[in-house]
Amino acid sequence: MAHSLSPFNTLILAAGNSSRMGMDKAGLVFDGEQNFLQRLLSVYVPVSKQVVVVIGEKQAAHFVGQFPRVRFIVNPYPERGRNYSIYLGFSVLDDNLPVFIQNVDNPFTDKKLIEKLLKKRGDYEYCYVAHGKKGGHPLLVSAHIRKEFLSFDPGKIHFRKFLNRFSHTALQVEEIKYTYNINRIEDYVRIFGKELREI
């Protein structure tokens, strides 16, 4: 990795059912050439030690094999929610590094934001993005948090509540785009100013 950032791993969550969107969010067009997942991988792969993508069975056939440096983990039970995807992703990361947790429907992350989060976390256990009182992604968590979460049954603890026990800080950003959650067709049309489609 030819960059000056301190080492970290990345976990991208892309296994949701996308029921509100009506189609797979990982494949939504970002800029005409890349979809959401391709866009995020183009940012994270060059600067991460390990990149893990937790994906659903339907999406796996489309994406697995396209990205040699990326490990894809299929979540066969998307109905178990984000907690279970985080658990699956954490379980295959094998070293003592902090982890970026990135939702696939927050595709605006860039290297500049990654660098700021790494610096901001300092001695805190985790750091998150905020625009005023509105939170965003990605989330940067310590290796300690990853190990602690793996000691619990993911069906019996909510990740957000689990995080409350750890020290944390917010990175305040001017760009509201880092807080966008593109969950519905209306969100996509409003933010991108074009009709919804996949690539």
Give the single-character DSSP code of 65.
T
pLDDT at residue number 59: 77
Q: What is the pLDDT of residue 3?
A: 57
How do residues 138-148 score in pLDDT, each as one tens digit? 999 999 999 99
In angstroms, the Cα distances linking 49 to 65, 145, 163 are 19, 18, 24
Q: Could you report how far apart the first and last alpha carbons of the chain are, in Å?
A: 28
Q: For residue 191, how many other CB atoms are within 10 A of its CB?
A: 14
Stronger pLDDT, 8 or 33, i.e. the higher one: 8
Domains and CATH numbers, the chain: 9-192 (3.90.550.10)
The pLDDT value recorded for residue 24 is 77
**pLDDT at 65 > cutoff 80:** no
Q: What is the pTM of this model?
A: 0.92
